[in-house]
Structure 1
Amino acid sequence: MSTTTISVKDQKHTYTFNLERMTIYKQSKIIEARDAEAQLFYLFFYKDAYINTVKAKELKPNSHAANAFEHGVTFRAPHPLIDAIIAASGPYKKHRFNDLFPKLQKQHTLQETTLIATFFESFIKKEQLLKFIKTLYNEDRRSGKMYACYRIYRVAQAFAPTHSWVKSLAGELDFKKYAPLYENLDASLFEKDPIYVEQFLYENRDTPERFNQLSTFLQQQGRWIDDIALSIDRFNKQQSNELYEAIHEKIKVHFESDDLIRLLEDLYERAPNLEPLQQDILDTYLKQDQPERALKLIATHHIELHPSQVKTFDHIVDHIDLESSSVSIEELNTVIGSLFTTIPRQAEALLQKAIRMLMKEHSISYIQQWLNPLRDVPEAQQTIAKVDQIQELEDDPNKQLQLGELYYEFNQLNQAIECFSWEMELNEQNPKPVQWLSKLYNELGMNHEAKAYQQLYVDMVKNG
């Protein structure tokens, strides 16, 4: 089920926010949402863990939040990946920063707390954030943890490279022995400094090698939401069957039913002409009993159905609702016409269903015009001829029995009753229209009328 709202507690009050979009950037996620007065808020996450909600203000250039919305991977709500992160985190409470930062130190390492603090540069003065980061650095220094200090220094250097305190740390003699590890991404860093490793791989993810390393890294951390999001981003930039198949395998593990369809449709919007994707969406539509969507997809791409798909389509074509289909009346004739080349039997069934639908609100002459694009389709000729015949017989008093039978074929029972009633008046000795009237009233559930005409029919046959 799609998540479109979220409740956030602020002291004693709880507010409902409407979700708008989520961006995934390095180790963070930011969800943009609005309250009932349309005021904008940001919900911050570290990896998959909720951190805080802040009221939006103009984002400082090159701040973490500004970079996230400019360079991150963004999805508009509703979206299954947004649903997944909302379900995985919470409860959602708005904290004052003075209360938040001490809490972070209890839940995260000092390096992680340093990184999280940098997320809020647009909402807290940079000098104040650096003052807090300095206390974290000094805590590790007092404990003699120089490599832990160096890891905090590298986060601070990326955050404020020109700040005097950060620049002063560059000359630390103890730090010089660590620097070579970072020059060529030493393998030991995957364990020693995963924060740096992830940021490096994220920034270089456009190369296949680094992307594969990042994907493996995220999977090892159990961060499948990030892995799928970055895989979609890569697919968006470089569409190929190989990349699609890799994403499809990932999303099948975590999503099913409607969420799976929504993710496949997201990919389809990015690469509508990718044949394996078309087939997978079609399979999913058929399995989930969504014939209207399947019909639109088949017609759009002239997809040739596999035998198993034809069999499944057979099962669902009877209850396809053309009135609620995304295919408009104006293009439905073309859609059905295209199906005759791949699934002629099902196309004929859909044509019959479409004509029955049109007869509810349109004249026969309108339907004849609507059928014009199909007049060169051999398999449609018999049905079209019957519609043309209805037009010819409508004002012929001597052909009402035949006209009623044609209306019955298209399930227009009330029109058929009018025709048979007229025929009965014109040919009082003919039991055929009476028999038809008994049948039709019975199908309409009008038992009293059906029995009356049945008895009349019996009497006519007996006396005839």
Structure 2
Amino acid sequence: MKSMECTVTDGKKQIVVQPAAMTVFLQNKMVEAYDAKGSVYYLVFFKNEYLTTWKAESLRRRSFLEKACKYGVVYQSPHPFIREVLSSQTSYHKRSLSQLRGKFQGQHTTQETALMLTFFDAFVSKKELFKEIQSFYYQHRRSGQLFLGYRIIRLLQDFTPKHSWVKQMANDMEFSSFKDLYQRSAPELWEKDPIYMEKAHFYARKNSENTTRLLQFLKEEKRWAEAFSLMVDLISRYNAEAYYKELLQWLKLYYDKEEQLAVLEDLYDRAPSIKRLQEDLLEMYLTENKLENALILIKRHHLALEGKNEAALENMLATMDLHTGSIPLDELSTYIVPLYETQPQKAEKILQKCVHQLLSDRTIQDIMNWLAPVREKYQSSPTVKQMDKMKKLREDPDKQRELGEMLYEFNQLDQAIECFSWEMELNTTDPEPVRWLSKIYLDLGKEAESKAYQDLYRKMQKANA
């Protein structure tokens, strides 16, 4: 997939940035991007909503961003999930924290606003953010909204768990009934405090019931990047293959073939041992004519080819050109070796084709070296035996006609001409090399040369009669 660019607007200045990675963690998405000078920017999102862009002069440690990278899912650009979040057609306005406060208050609850403020502790003083969030608690306290105030306390327990004020308030007896709700993870909290329940279920996602409920919640909110990332996390971190089938179904609904392949390649990098994923990737590589990727996968996992996959590989190998540089030629023989374990006839056909092409511009000794991995395990290979025989014939000047016949079988007509010409000079009365030369020149479309040798062949036959 091609990399993308997007535009950040800072006042009257427009900055073109290129996304490098995106981290998805709970309700946050953070896109790391670079401008032409190498400066780092972070585009910050709350759920599906863009908030602001922050230029990273330096990053504070033990921040939300650091936690997100540790517990969330990080995607490298280009990745379809990043394109799901960003658009090259949109200009992303850089807002200050004070501008964000006004935006938050008009569109979000105080709890959501407090949560969004925690996203910025890598860039802004934690003390400043704490005071702002603390003010929401006092606002609810003055209004007698104890539960709303307690939701802010719960959020601060994550943000500044060691703060003495937070510890004191969390243990205040007037919140004991609310505290019991959270300790029991009561179902009604999905209505009363979905932010907390999403977090609690995420951290307990190894439990299938929690995962099912969390996925349902994310789908209800149409937060597809988060839903897909949860599945990716479960598959890669816990080897939960059960979610692979569901992820695949969703990918086929939302993305084209190229994007599906990009997602599966990323997933394979995280969880290469999943058999179904290996097989699906192989099928896609063969469908998309990605021979090198297919051969690497076959070698790495000793994959067997069946049905349409077998036919697709055969077709690709029948039309491949080893001289284009798109195939890792020096390693190709090592990719063929595993095929001998599952499909020796198929492997032999591939090997034969490779040798056919290699003979046009490589010496027999070069090809012998190239065949070493195959010879090491499968000395009985007919192609290996042919090449061993050709090497011996090459070293024997009295066997050039036999070598020429073998080269002809490999369609190496120019080299065969050299052999038969040598044989013709060595045995001036033997018409057989002349007959071969006439045949080969005809195959090459050189009718005049072919006719000249054909005439000479007839004269020699009459002279020997």
TM-score category (smaller protein):
0.7 to 0.9
- Listed one character per residue, the Cα deviations across residues 344-401 of structure 1 (whole Å, up to 9, x for unaligned) are 33312221232234335532123224334434637622x2333234334436666555
Q: Does 1:221 align with 2:221?
A: yes
Quote the Cα distance in structure 2 between the aligned partners of 1:166 and 1:302.
57
3-state SS of paired residue (2:205): coil
Q: How does 1:318-397 map to 2 (within 5 A)?
A: 318-322=318-322, 324=325, 329=330, 331-375=331-375, 377=378, 380-381=381-382, 383-394=383-394
The 10-residue stretch of structure 1 (234-243 or 454-463) with the greater mean CA deviation from structure 2: 454-463
Contact 2:64 2:120 in 1 (8 A): yes
Q: Does 1:159 align with 2:155?
A: no
Paired residue type of 2:226: D
Q: CA deviation at 1:225?
A: 1.5
Quote the Cα distance in structure 2 between the aligned partners of 1:281 and 1:432.
48
Quote the Cα distance in structure 1 between the aligned partners of 2:136 and 2:153.
10
Contact 2:42 2:55 in 1 (8 A): yes
Quote the Cα distance in structure 1 between the aligned partners of 2:380 and 2:48.
56
Q: Find the counterpart in structure 1 of residue 299 from structure 2.
A: 299
Q: Does 1:209 align with 2:209?
A: yes
Quote the Cα distance in structure 2 between the aligned partners of 1:98 and 1:276.
50
Quote the Cα distance in structure 1 between the aligned partners of 2:59 and 2:168.
25
- Listed one character per residue, the Cα deviations across residues 39-65 of structure 1 (whole Å, up to 9, x for unaligned) are 332221111322211122544444322
3-state SS of paired residue (1:124): coil
Q: Find the counterpart in structure 2 of residue 438 from structure 1.
A: 442
Q: Find the counterpart in structure 1 of residue 187 from structure 2.
A: 187
Q: Where do 5+ consecutive residues of structure 2 fail to align?
A: none
- Listed one character per residue, the Cα deviations across residues 291-321 of structure 1 (whole Å, up to 9, x for unaligned) are 2222222222222222332233223221345
Quote the Cα distance in structure 2 between the aligned partners of 1:369 and 1:118.
61
Q: Find the counterpart in structure 2 of residue 234 from structure 1.
A: 234
Pick the aligned partner of 2:448 from 429, 448, 452.
452
The two structures have a TM-score, normalised by structure 1, of: 0.82
Paired residue type of 1:300: R
Contact 1:57 1:122 in 2 (8 A): no
Contact 2:6 2:87 in 1 (8 A): no
Identity of aligned residues (%): 35
3-state SS of paired residue (2:438): helix
Contact 2:336 2:351 in 1 (8 A): yes
Contact 2:114 2:152 in 1 (8 A): yes
Quote the Cα distance in structure 1 between the aligned partners of 2:378 and 2:179.
74
Quote the Cα distance in structure 1 between the aligned partners of 2:89 and 2:185.
32
Contact 1:261 1:281 in 2 (8 A): yes
3-state SS of paired residue (1:14): strand
Contact 1:420 1:437 in 2 (8 A): no
3-state SS of paired residue (1:33): strand
Quote the Cα distance in structure 2 between the aligned partners of 1:131 and 1:270.
40
Q: CA deviation at 1:26?
A: 1.6
Contact 2:4 2:88 in 1 (8 A): no
Q: Where do 5+ consecutive residues of structure 1 fail to align?
A: 443-449
* CA distance 1:102–1:89, shift in 2 (3 Å): farther
3-state SS of paired residue (1:305): coil
Quote the Cα distance in structure 2 between the aligned partners of 1:169 and 1:207.
27
Q: CA deviation at 1:28?
A: 0.6
Q: Does 1:38 align with 2:42?
A: no
Q: CA deviation at 1:198?
A: 1.1
Contact 2:5 2:16 in 1 (8 A): yes
- Listed one character per residue, the Cα deviations across residues 379-438 of structure 1 (whole Å, up to 9, x for unaligned) are 622x23332343344366665554344334334343234445556667596344123113
Quote the Cα distance in structure 2 between the aligned partners of 1:321 and 1:418.
25
Q: CA deviation at 1:328?
A: 5.7
Contact 1:48 1:88 in 2 (8 A): no
Q: CA deviation at 1:113?
A: 2.2
3-state SS of paired residue (1:9): strand
RMSD: 3.7
The 10-residue stretch of structure 1 (30-39 or 414-423) with the greater mean CA deviation from structure 2: 414-423
Q: CA deviation at 1:219?
A: 1.8
* CA distance 1:160–1:320, shift in 2 (3 Å): same
Quote the Cα distance in structure 2 between the aligned partners of 1:358 and 1:306.
28
Quote the Cα distance in structure 1 between the aligned partners of 2:286 and 2:225.
27
* CA distance 1:372–1:65, shift in 2 (3 Å): closer
